[in-house]
Amino acid sequence: MTTLLINIKELLQIRETAIAKVSGAEMAILPTIKNAFLVIRDNLIADFGSMVNLPELHADKIIDATGKIVLPSWCDSHTHIVYAGNREQEFVDRINGLTYEEISNCGGGILNSATKLNETPEDEIYNQSKLRLEEVMQLGTGAVEIKSGYGLTLDGELKMLRVVQRLSKNYPITIKATFLGAHAFPLEYATNHQGYIDLIINDMLPEIAKNKLADFIDVFCEAGYFTVEETRKIMEAGIKFGLKPKIHVNQFNSIGGIQAGIEYNALSVDHLEVMKPEDIKALKNTDTMPVALPSCSYFLSIPYTPARAMIAAGLPIALATDYNPGSTPSGNMNFVVATACIKMKMTPEEAINAATINGAYAMGISETHGSITIGKKANLIITKPITSYYQLPYAFGSTLIETVLIEGEIIS
C-alpha cells in the first residue's frame, strides 16, 4: 500500500538524518519544506521532498494537502490515562479555596482515585480508558506513555498495567507502560513507609517483570510523598528488574530528586515547575530529558516550568500532557503546545520540537517516532488550510487538525 501526499503547504520537522533530540539553541530550529510531497509505504515514511522533485510512482491513495501543514504526530511521554471515574468534586473544592495538598491530606487526590480504581472491575476500567485513548489519537497524538499508580495494591497495580497492555494490543498507537506504584503511600502504610516500599520491591516488581507489563519505573519524589532516599531505593530495584527510571520531581518543591534521577540515568525527569539554579546545572550534559507539563500548571494554578532559563542553559525540553483525573483532566497536546508558547514563552518552533522529537526521546522511541525521516512510522498530522504553523499555538481554542494518520492509516 502506497499513499502519496502532494501539494503540502509546509512539511515540518524534516530530518534527513535521524537525531535523538534537540537542545538549547537548536530547539529554535524547525527544518521544513514548502510545497512538499511525502510518500508512505508499508506504514513507514518512504520519501519526501519538494513538489518540483516529485518522482514518478504508483500510489494506491493520493491525498491533496493544498493549503495544509503536515507534521509528525505528537509524542505524549507522560500520562495517567488509565483510571476509574473522575475527581470533579475536588475541582470544585479547589475553586472554593482548598489547595491540592490540602485535598490530598484529607484523603482526596491520588488516594481518592486509588479507592475508585480498586472498586471498579477491570473491563470497566478498560472501557473508560479506551475512550480517552481514542480521543487523544483524534487530537493528533501518535505515541503515548501510560502510568499505573492508582492501584497502590498488588492487584490494583497489575490490573492497571493489564489494561495498558490491552490498549496497546487493540490500538495502532504506540504505547509505553510505566509502573508507578510509588505514586503515594496508601493509608494503611501512612506510618510505615518501609512496609509499602517492601511491597513494591518484593511483591509488585517481580510480578510486573514476570508478566512483562512495564517498560519504565516511576516515583513521585516530592515533599509529603517519597523522599529522595526512598526514590533511590525504588529506582535501583526497578533497574534490577529491567525497568528504566522516569520520575516525577520538582512539582511543588526542589528536594534533590533531579540529582537522584540523573544518578540513576533516568530517561526523563518530569514536572519541573520549581527549578533552582543547581537543578538546571545538574541536568546539563546528561542523557536525562526534562519534561514540562504546562496544562497541569494551568489547571492547578501553580508555576510553569521555567523553559527560557533551561533552554538558555543549553538544555532540551519535552512537552507532555500529564493527563490524569486530578491535576490535568485533558490529553490535548495541541493545548499543551499553545500553553507552552503563551505561558512559558517558548517559540512555536521550540514547542513543536518539544512535543515531537524530544517527546519521542522521553519515551525511548526516537528511532521510530518524532520526525519526518525515511524509515520512521508514518504518524502524521494534517491540518486544515491555515496561514502558517504559527496558527497552531496562536488559535489555541480552535480545532485545526483535519486528518490524523497512525502507521499510515487515517484515524476516523
Q: What is the per-residue pLDDT across 122-177, written as a single tens digit (0 to 9) for each?
A: 999 999 999 999 999 999 999 999 999 999 999 999 999 999 999 999 999 999 99
pLDDT of residue 106: 76
158 vs 204: CA distance, rounded Å: 8
pLDDT of residue 36: 98
114 vs 50: CA distance, rounded Å: 52
Q: What is the pLDDT of residues 36-91, one digit of tens each?
A: 999 999 999 999 999 999 999 999 999 999 999 999 999 999 999 999 999 999 99
Give the three cell numbers for residue 397: 481554542
Query: Rounded to whole angstroms, what are the CA distances from 186 to 113, 120, 177, 298?
Result: 11, 17, 22, 28
Which residue from 209, 216, 280, 283 is spatially nearest to 246, judged by alpha carbons?
A: 216
Cβ atoms < 10 Å from Cβ of 193: 13
The DSSP output letter for 63 is E
- 348-355 vs 333-344: helix crossing angle, rounded to 10: 140
The structure's pTM equals: 0.96
pLDDT of residue 109: 87
pLDDT of residue 356: 98
pLDDT of residue 250: 97
pLDDT of residue 128: 98
Query: Is residue 100 predicted with pLDDT exceeding 80?
Result: no
Q: What is the pLDDT of residues 234-277, one digit of tens each?
A: 999 999 999 999 999 999 999 999 999 999 999 999 999 999 99
304-328 average pLDDT score: 97
pLDDT of residue 103: 84
pLDDT of residue 105: 77
The DSSP output letter for 260 is H
Average pLDDT over the chain, rounded to whole? 97
Give the start-end residues of each E strand in 226-338. Answer: 244-249, 268-271, 289-292, 318-319
Q: What percent of the chain has pLDDT over 70?
A: 100
Q: State the pLDDT confidence band at 412, using cuts at 50, 70 and 90.
A: confident
392-403 average pLDDT score: 97
Q: State the pLDDT confidence band at 101, using cuts at 50, 70 and 90.
A: confident
pLDDT of residue 347: 98
pLDDT of residue 23: 98
178-204 average pLDDT score: 97
Q: Determine the residue type at 136.
A: V
